[in-house]
Amino acid sequence: MKRPCLFHAAVLTACILTASLQAADPAPLLANGGFENGDHTWKIANVPDASASVNETAAHSGRFGLTLTNNAARTVARVMSANLPTAPGRVYTLKFQARTHALGTYGGVSLRFLDVHGKNAGDPSLSHAKATGIGGAWQAHTLTATAPEGAATVSVWVHTYSKQKGVVDFDDIELIEGTPAADGIPDPVLATSSTPTAAPAPAPVAITGGKGLPIVIKANALTVRPDGSLPPRWEKFAAYLNDRRLKFSIGVITYSLDTTSQSYFAWAVDTSKENYFAWIKEQHASGLVEFWHHGYNHHQWLQNGSDVFEFKGSGYDHQLEHLKQGQDLAREHLGFVFTTFGAPFNATDSDTVRVLAKDTDIRVWLYGNPADSAGKTILDRDPQVNIEHPIFVPNFEKFAAGYAASSASRRYYVIEGHPAQWNDTQFAEFERIIDFLVAHDARFVTPTELADLLQR
């Protein structure tokens, strides 16, 4: 069954950051972004199986906040501000607080740019911030976006994602014109730094810990932009490692290979994915990159009050279908099948073991269950040695400390990261990790190569 579903945008977002900004204080453009005057100035979309309400339990500050509830797979709860006049090149900073009621990310806030005809202007994925779903705790989010060519109006849309049931609270939505950071990309690392005005100068790489270890770079959750193009941050990530002739691996959300599927952004138009396919095929053919199966849609949802993941709790048939769909799409559009699997959220169950056992092309299971390996080579993780700490934030100091502590007892490391989430400062931190590994004579290999090495 093809799923013409709207896409979980876990990795589409270019500029979502949980940062505080050192903003100047330009006038706020939204009159009631804190919902203290109820839904005044907001328009609530009337949609079946979805609801939006201003209520006291959703307050982050003041007395009131906004709750969006998505009760069905094929619906979207949505609340919209008025259209404000804008012009191409104007820069906006949007800040908001959000709280998901359970783990999982199923809503966010978009800046919606329209042209004079009321049609979508520019690429909507560049002006969307997902409400990071950590479950139960408020998170601050910031998005910066530039009014694209043709933009005449801008509005704020607060919404859930289709196919993603769940409840999200929003409050303190603030829109200003202008951006407080020189590069337009506020830095979440700086939010907790004692020197918030500048990134620290990179320290010299110290040689501590084991040398010559095989390293797999496990880069997660590749997908396309709504216009069918490769996200620029993925391009940068791959180009950097290509230039250094270092091998790495990329997990593909295989929905992105589906040319029949509907765009996540209901107002965006799908265009050809041929350039995307060509890029993957070129990288694959170089022998420097292994692409692996990272699920079909990377979904997670609530079912009878419990968290269900694409490959955990979703049932044997569901998992089998999604595994097969991904392989079929790769065969059709890329000309190869995946030999490595890594589950979305690294969440799996006994059904995953059964469906993986049926796929004889897949030989390697990243972060799989060593007690029940489905006949695959399990490449495990060291929780102290990873690219990001916390998730989405590359952290050289943590990496180097963990490496120094454990490398004498390790045969290899599989280090995970999400390049689509890294701004320039965070990318520089990733480069420091690579420099550190190169200084330690690391042998950068693909997952399948590592599996072969381990079996020798």
Residue 128 and residue 144: Cα distance in Å, rounded? 9
Nearer to Ca ion, 59 or 238 (CB): 59
**Binding to Ca ion, residues 65-84 (CB under 5 A):** 65
Measured from the CB of residue 38, what is the shortest distance to Ca ion in angstroms? 11
Contact 174, 28 (CB under 8 A): yes
Measured from the CB of residue 40, what is the shortest distance to Ca ion in angstroms? 13
Contact 91, 133 (CB under 8 A): no
Nearer to Ca ion, 62 or 89 (CB): 62
Measured from the CB of residue 277, what is the shortest distance to Ca ion in angstroms? 46
Measured from the CB of residue 108, what is the shortest distance to Ca ion in angstroms? 18
139-146 vs 413-417, strand pairing mode = unpaired
**Binding to Ca ion, residues 22-41 (CB under 5 A):** 34-35
Other CB atoms within 10 A of residue 331 CB: 14
* Buried-exposed string 137-170: b where 16+ CB fall within 10 A, e elsewhere: ebbbbbbbbbbbebbbbbbbbbbbbbbbbbbbbb
Distance of CA 330 to the CA centre of its chain: 21
Nearer to Ca ion, 4 or 62 (CB): 62
Measured from the CB of residue 157, what is the shortest distance to Ca ion in angstroms? 18
CA proximity to 50, closest of 81, 66, 74, 80: 74
Nearer to Ca ion, 62 or 196 (CB): 62
Question: Given the structure tokens 């102290």, which residue do they identify?
Answer: 384
Residue 32 and residue 81: Cα distance in Å, rounded? 9
Measured from the CB of residue 194, what is the shortest distance to Ca ion in angstroms? 30
**Binding to Ca ion, residues 118-147 (CB under 5 A):** none
- 169 touching Ca ion, by CB under 5 A: no
What lies within 8 Å, CB to CB, of 12 at 6+ separation is 125, 128, 223, 225, 226, 231, 264, 420
Which stretch in 53-61, 357-365, 423-431, 448-456 sits in contact with Ca ion by CB under 5 A?
Answer: 53-61
Nearer to Ca ion, 44 or 323 (CB): 44
Question: Given the structure tokens 């295989």, which residue do they identify?
Answer: 254
- 287 touching Ca ion, by CB under 5 A: no
* CA 47 to each of CA 13, 70, 77, 302, 442: distance values in angstroms, whole numbers, following the listed order: 25, 10, 7, 20, 54
Which stretch in 58-66, 119-127, 182-190, 222-230 sits in contact with Ca ion by CB under 5 A?
Answer: 58-66
* Residue 49 amino acid letter: D
Measured from the CB of residue 64, what is the shortest distance to Ca ion in angstroms? 5
Nearer to Ca ion, 65 or 313 (CB): 65
What lies within 8 Å, CB to CB, of 163 at 6+ separation is 3, 5, 6, 8, 73, 74, 297, 299, 301
**Binding to Ca ion, residues 354-383 (CB under 5 A):** none
Measured from the CB of residue 243, what is the shortest distance to Ca ion in angstroms? 48
What's the sign of the alpha-carbon dihedral 75, 79, 85, 89?
negative
Nearer to Ca ion, 66 or 400 (CB): 66
**Count of residues that bind Ca ion according to CB under 5 A:** 6
**Binding to Ca ion, residues 179-218 (CB under 5 A):** none
- 62 touching Ca ion, by CB under 5 A: yes
Which stretch in 47-55, 59-67, 293-301, 380-388 sits in contact with Ca ion by CB under 5 A?
Answer: 59-67
Nearer to Ca ion, 35 or 309 (CB): 35
3-state secondary structure of 136: coil
Other CB atoms within 10 A of residue 234 CB: 21
Binding residue (CB under 5 A) for Ca ion from 50, 53, 131, 171:
171
**Binding to Ca ion, residues 261-280 (CB under 5 A):** none
Measured from the CB of residue 97, what is the shortest distance to Ca ion in angstroms? 9
Nearer to Ca ion, 61 or 272 (CB): 61
Kindly state the tokens that stand for 137: 């705790």
Nearer to Ca ion, 174 or 435 (CB): 174
Which stretch in 163-171, 213-221, 336-344, 439-447 sits in contact with Ca ion by CB under 5 A?
Answer: 163-171
Nearer to Ca ion, 62 or 202 (CB): 62
Residue 247 and residue 251: Cα distance in Å, rounded? 14
Which stretch in 61-69, 72-80, 200-208, 381-389 sits in contact with Ca ion by CB under 5 A?
Answer: 61-69
Applying CB under 5 A, the residues found at the interface with Ca ion are 34-35, 59, 62, 65, 171
